[in-house]
A and B are shown apart, each in its own frame.
Chain A
Amino acid sequence: MSYRLKEWPGAWSDFAKGLKGMPHEAEMLTWMERLGNEGLQLRRRVRPLGQGLFELKIAHYRVAFGEHEGVVVVVLCFVKKKQRDQSSINEARRRLKIVKAGNKDLSDVAIH
């Protein structure tokens, strides 16, 4: 099965701008490429957060994603600063819920 990657508006593209030229950029792109190719089959660097949400962990960067209609949807990317960054996970969960609810037009959705 071939997966594609989609994003919550700006979730990856905004994050990628800040990642450009940073020490872990190549590593992150390598694993994002694998995520796009392997989807939820990807084992290393990925951990389940429950309720269909997963996290790709590269150094102090985190990419939260889920699967919807055979596509990997990146809902939030962030830099982990605290031991337990529950607010980011809650936001990722909220976004994935909206995606899974089938909201095709997210232009009206508040983006934090």
Chain B
Amino acid sequence: MLRSIDLKIRERLKERNFRRQWYRAQLEAHVPDMFRALRERRDMTQKELAASADMKQSAISRFEKSGEANWNTETLLKLADALDAQLVVSLVPSEDVIARYESSEGQSEKKASLLDAAPAQPLVGTAFSHFEHMPERKEFLRVQSSKGIVNTEGRPWWN
């Protein structure tokens, strides 16, 4: 019998070291796709984006495939500008991240005790990238452009 998979992310997120790795992995997995999605929505080729951002096409290609979050802030701003988009950063306290997983996975289990004491207040963000953690929805990271929000959906590349 096929069984549903429970990734047990909410449980793993209670471990500080896992959270550290998780947050980085999330950025690495979503940021390049967010840019690629907006580029495609703008009907721009990598070459056209490169010309607009004064970069090489190979650099755009590397960025979109990038598996490491070592992007330069200036480069991200330059690419966002070339795509006519605003970059916004949100800082999400871990207790909020965990709470969202617990509610989205229909779990009523108690939050980790070390997190109970921390106030769930929004913290300050600066113009960088918008990180919205909504596991129950397809969109994870968003680029706010002048024409709305872009998610990471796309056609299968092998089609």
In the complex, are the beta carbons of A7 and B7 less than 8 A apart?
Answer: no
Tell me the chain A residues, 12-46 only, with Cβ under 8 Å from chain B.
12-13, 16, 20, 23, 25-27, 29-34, 36-38, 40-41, 43-44
- The interface on chain B, measured as residues whose beta carbon lies within 8 A of the other chain's beta carbons, has a size of 31
Q: Which of B4, B21, B138, B153 contacts A4 (CB 8 A)?
A: B4
Closest CB of chain A to B6's CB: distance in Å? 8
Question: Which of B1, B7, B154 is in CB contact (< 8 Å) with A41?
Answer: B154
Chain A 98-112 interface mask (CB, 8 Å, partner B; 1/0): 010000111100000
Contact A8 B22 (CB under 8 A): no
Which residue of chain B lies nearest to A74 when distances are taken between CB atoms in the complex? B5
> Contacting B158 at CB < 8 Å: which of A12, A34, A48, A105?
A48
Interface string of B23-40 (1 = CB under 8 A from A): 011101100110000000
> For the complex, would chain A's binding face be called helix, strand, loop or mixed by DSSP majority?
mixed
Nearest chain B CB to A21 CB, angstrom units: 8
Say if the beta carbon of A5 comes within 8 Å of chain B: yes
* The residue from B24, B33, B137 contacting A44, defined by CB atoms under 8 A apart: B33
Interface: A90 (CB within 8 A)? no
Q: Are B24 and A26 in contact, with the CB atoms below 8 A? A: yes
Residue A6 interfacial (CB < 8 Å): yes
- Distance (Å) between the CB of A38 and the closest chain B CB? 7
Which residue of chain A has its CB nearest to the CB of B66? Answer: A44
A105 touches B1 (CB 8 A): yes
Assuming the contacts A2-B138, A43-B157, A48-B158, asked whether A29 and B4 have C-beta atoms less than 8 A apart, the reply is no
Q: How far is the CA of A105 from the CA of B4 in the complex (A)?
A: 14
Report yes or no: A29 in contact with B2, Cβ–Cβ below 8 A.
no
Q: Which residue, A6, A27, A31, has most C-beta atoms of chain B within 10 A?
A: A27
Contact B138 A33 (CB under 8 A): no
Give the distance in Å from the alpha carbon of A5 to the alpha carbon of B3 in the complex.
Answer: 9
User: Is A9 an interface residue, CB under 8 A from the partner?
Assistant: yes
Q: Mark B113-148, 1 if CB is under 8 A from A, else 0.
A: 000000000000000000000010110100000000
Chain B residues within 8 Å of A, Cβ to Cβ: 1-5, 7-9, 12, 18, 21-22, 24-26, 28-29, 32-33, 65, 135, 137-138, 140, 152-158
